């Protein structure tokens, strides 16, 4: 990160993120007063300083979101299938191939939906 006057610039391939609330700000940022942090109005404006920001890469952002992926997929699956339903379908996939095929397609859709929601 480099500073020129009152503007901070991220190194190549990185973007600036406010540390306090993880707000992404882009590759360059003119420093000034901010009136909101984490979506909440501050009692007094805060004069931003370079130490309020960190540099992050796309890979770092994706890695931070990955722990959210599994629980989100499971949440979507639970809309139509309980855990008992899933176990039954797994046990009976040879006896009920059409039901298993529908279940499998729905799970794949849930995975895609979670990736899109998380930006992965």
Number of helices (H), then strands (E), belonging to the chain: the values are 3, 8
Q: What does the pLDDT read at residue 39?
A: 83
Distance of CA 75 to the CA centre of its chain: 16
Residue written as token pair 């006057």? 5
Share of the chain above pLDDT 90, in %: 76
**C-alpha angle 78/81/85, rounded to 5°?**
135
One domain for residues 80 and 40: no
One domain for residues 112 and 63: yes
Chain segment 46-98, per-residue pLDDT in tens: 999 999 999 999 889 888 888 889 999 999 999 999 999 999 999 999 999 99
One domain for residues 18 and 70: no
Q: Which of 35, 56, 77 is the last residue of a domain?
A: 56
Q: Which of 32, 56, 80 is the last residue of a domain?
A: 56
One domain for residues 77 and 100: yes
One domain for residues 51 and 65: no
pLDDT greater than 90 at residue 22 = no
Count of residues in the chain: 120
CB neighbours of residue 110 within 10 Å: 20
């Amino acid at each position: 990160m480099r500073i020129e006057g009152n503007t901070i610039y991220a190194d190549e391939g990185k973007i600036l993120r406010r540390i306090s609330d993880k707000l992404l700000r882009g590759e360059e940022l003119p420093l000034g007063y901010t009136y909101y942090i984490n979506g909440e109005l501050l009692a007094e404006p805060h004069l931003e300083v370079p130490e309020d920001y960190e540099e992050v890469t796309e890979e770092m952002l994706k890695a931070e979101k990955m722990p959210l992926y599994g629980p989100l997929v499971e949440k979507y699956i639970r809309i139509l299938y309980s855990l008992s339903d899933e176990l039954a379908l797994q046990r009976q996939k040879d006896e009920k191939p059409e039901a298993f095929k529908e279940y499998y397609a729905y799970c794949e859709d849930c995975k895609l939906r979670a990736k899109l929601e998380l930006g992965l």
